[in-house]
């Protein structure tokens, strides 16, 4: 018997009977096990050894060309009642979904090894952590789960301890690469059963079931049931020259600089003054109210599964330093001396992500969604607090999107309900390169549109429920690093200079600056943003913090239309808040409309 927990042993045996593997391996998470897996994958071509002099312990994996990203249209959330899934998810009846998946899984592991991966999302000893077991036939998945989670013996022991007290409750994830056939590919979630079934893909977000599948889609349901939040957010610590650290959680849609903010390097003047930035997490944040009424957060992941293209010494030197060793690269190009390469790096590729001689006519050398998997502890700014069992106290929650106009550089919500409205309304405008249409606003509430595992209306209500007597909730902000001038150029420099905005937030949290109240929120008053050493003129700052009343009236109407899409489950308080802001804009004196 490989487990002392009867429920776990029974489930593994049921899966083995269905999938019929040649052998079963229970993963212990040891370094010896990892090295053995790597050697096995090097031998069969699953991994390719990179230049061990320049990148020790680094390997390249090339996935099937049809299997390079998450597949949202094949990702389903299977609540028994379709209404609970909401318009923000795809749905299938659970009984039908199980039947469909089990037919695919039948005999799929014949001739393969079935790996049993016990894992813990979050520090092993944290009461905020939650555990799962993934069964897979992919050694690549095992290797990545070793990096991305606390995986192996210690996790299994926690599962067995908890299982004796809670009737064997752990998240069950079953995965097979199958035939990598796009027509036989599904990622099914069963929130009430705490179960995930994924077939036909080896790509990270579809196959590393601890990541988006467990940590967001299933965990968002767990969080609602248990009174916490599972969010698509980075966690960053900002330490001031007095040695005090404030922790900030921030949610942005893709292509808005989440990892860059998590690993931010302060401007030279700030560094000289003693400011430091600490990385707790770059992608997922679980928050729970503490005994003192504050929200405490953990990063449930142990590694980074980052997008490689665009990661460079100028955009994110800390990320580049993190991946100089002991990293699995997926779908990047390689140079003549066998170093990993992607757009944004110096040098020249000779082989593209599919292993072909590089030809610009075939498109980018590295796939635009090529990835690196690396332990978070290798980041130069990694915070040891990431292992604290109690989590870190959150001082501020930040929402943001890519908006070339209207949205100011930063605004603070009036209160928690207003902040939830800010998060619900956030989104990004598309570019011609991405979609063929410019200026189409795609709202992505709390950056959770692909990941909230239940109806968005219920999700908003859950957020609102945290505002209760005794709560000491974080202040909520919205930022927009991407506002453009009439010349089409960005008005704000971004990157490390975003610390200037975070400092203003911290000063607001500490009551050191008053700001300027407007109907859309509190904006920085003149002189409150520290601009020393920044070549930016007062007129540009005025434009970054301008509030266009007519534009905002149209925006509030559009927000109302968007929220209507979640009726009848839209919380009345959120609709009332939208109407309150719209009314305040209408009541503004005309001469104050562009304050």
> What residue numbers does the annotated binding site for substrate cover?
70, 203-205, 254, 369-371
Strand spans (E) along 310-452: 328-330, 333-335, 340-341, 349-351, 371-375, 392-400, 410-412, 427-429, 441-443
Whether the CB-CB separation of 160 and 8 falls below 8 Å is answered with yes
Place of tokens 């992941």: 301
The alpha-helical segments, DSSP class H, found in 106-152 are 139-148
Whether the CB-CB separation of 517 and 525 falls below 8 Å is answered with no
SS3 81: coil
Q: Which of 27, 108, 120, 256 is catalytic?
A: 256
SS3 381: coil
SS3 412: strand
Cis peptide, bond prior to residue 208, ω within 30 of zero: no
Name the β-bridge partners of 306: 372
Give the closest residue to 115 by CA, choosing from 94, 90, 89, 141.
Answer: 141
Contacts of residue 253, defined as CB under 8 A and 6 or more positions apart, other chains included, come to 401, 402, 426, 427, 428, 442, 444, 447
Q: Residues within the annotated binding site for GTP? A: 255-260, 371, 402, 495-498
SS3 332: coil
Cα distance between residue 61 and residue 354, in whole Å:
10
Distance, C-alpha 65 to centroid of its chain = 24
For the question of residue 120 being annotated catalytic, the response is no
Whether the CB-CB separation of 165 and 138 falls below 8 Å is answered with no
Whether the CB-CB separation of 515 and 443 falls below 8 Å is answered with no
Cα distance between residue 198 and residue 183, in whole Å:
13
Name the β-bridge partners of 171: 132
**What is the token pair recorded at 469?**
């007597």
Cα distance between residue 262 and residue 319, in whole Å:
10
422 — phi, psi (to 5°)? -55, -45
Q: Residues within the annotated binding site? A: 70, 203-205, 212, 232, 254-260, 283, 369-371, 402, 495-498
- Give the residue numbers marked as catalytic: 256
């Amino acid at each position: 018997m490989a487990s002392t927990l009867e429920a776990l042993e029974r489930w593994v045996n049921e899966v083995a009977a269905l999938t019929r593997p040649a052998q079963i391996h229970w993963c212990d998470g040891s370094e010896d096990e990892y090295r053995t897996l790597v050697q096995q994958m090097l031998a069969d071509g699953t991994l390719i050894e990179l230049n061990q002099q320049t990148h020790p312990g680094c390997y390249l994996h090339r996935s099937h060309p049809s299997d390079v990203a998450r597949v949202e249209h094949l990702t389903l959330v299977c609540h028994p009642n379709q209404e609970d899934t909401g318009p923000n998810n795809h749905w299938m009846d659970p009984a039908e979904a199980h039947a469909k998946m089990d037919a695919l899984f039948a005999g799929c592991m014949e001739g393969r090894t079935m790996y049993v991966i016990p894992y813990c999302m979050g520090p092993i000893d944290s009461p905020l952590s939650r555990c799962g077991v993934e069964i897979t036939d992919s050694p690549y998945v095992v290797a990545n789960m070793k990096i991305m989670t606390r995986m192996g013996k210690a996790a299994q022991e926690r599962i067995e301890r908890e299982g004796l007290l809670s009737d064997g409750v752990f998240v069950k994830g079953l995965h097979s690469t199958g035939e990598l056939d796009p027509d036989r590919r599904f990622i099914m979630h069963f929130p009430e059963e705490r179960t995930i079934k994924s077939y036909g893909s080896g790509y990270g977000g579809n196959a590393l079931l601890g990541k988006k599948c467990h940590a967001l889609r299933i965990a968002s349901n767990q969080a609602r049931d248990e009174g916490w939040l599972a969010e698509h957010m980075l966690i960053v610590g900002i330490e001031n020259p007095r040695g005090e650290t404030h922790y900030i959680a921030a949610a942005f849609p893709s292509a808005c600089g989440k990892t860059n903010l998590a690993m931010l390097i302060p401007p030279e003047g700030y560094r000289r003054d003693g400011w430091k930035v600490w990385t707790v997490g770059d992608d997922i944040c679980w928050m729970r109210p503490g005994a003192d009424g504050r929200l405490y957060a953990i990063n449930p992941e142990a590694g980074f599964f980052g997008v490689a293209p665009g990661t460079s010494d100028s955009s994110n030197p800390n990320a580049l330093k993190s991946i100089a060793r002991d990293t699995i690269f997926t779908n990047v190009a390689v140079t003549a001396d066998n170093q990993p390469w992607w757009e944004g790096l110096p040098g020249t590729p000779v082989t593209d992500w599919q292993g072909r001689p590089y030809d610009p006519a075939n498109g980018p050398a590295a796939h635009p969604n090529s990835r690196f998997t690396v332990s978070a502890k290798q980041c130069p700014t990694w915070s040891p607090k990431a292992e604290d069992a109690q989590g870190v106290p959150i001082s501020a929650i930040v929402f943001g999107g890519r908006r070339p106009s209207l949205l100011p550089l930063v605004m603070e919500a009036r209160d928690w309900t207003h902040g939830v409205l800010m998060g619900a309304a956030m989104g990004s405008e598309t570019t011609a390169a991405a979609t063929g249409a410019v200026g189409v606003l795609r709202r992505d509430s709390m950056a959770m549109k692909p990941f909230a595992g239940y109806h968005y209306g219920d999700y908003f209500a859950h957020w609102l429920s945290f505002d209760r007597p005794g709560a000491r909730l974080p202040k909520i902000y919205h930022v927009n690093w991407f506002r453009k001038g009439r010349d089409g150029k960005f008005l704000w420099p971004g990157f490390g200079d975003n610390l200037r905005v975070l400092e203003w937030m911290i000063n607001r949290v500490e009551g050191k600056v008053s700001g300027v109240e407007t109907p859309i929120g509190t904006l920085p008053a003149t002189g409150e943003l520290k601009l020393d050493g920044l070549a930016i003129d007062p007129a540009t700052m005025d434009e970054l913090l301008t509030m266009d009343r007519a534009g905002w009236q149209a925006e509030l109407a559009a927000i109302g239309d968007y929220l209507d899409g979640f009726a009848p489950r839209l919380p009345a308080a959120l609709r009332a808040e939208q109407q309150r802001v719209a009314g305040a804009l209408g009541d503004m004196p005309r001469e104050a409309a562009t304050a």
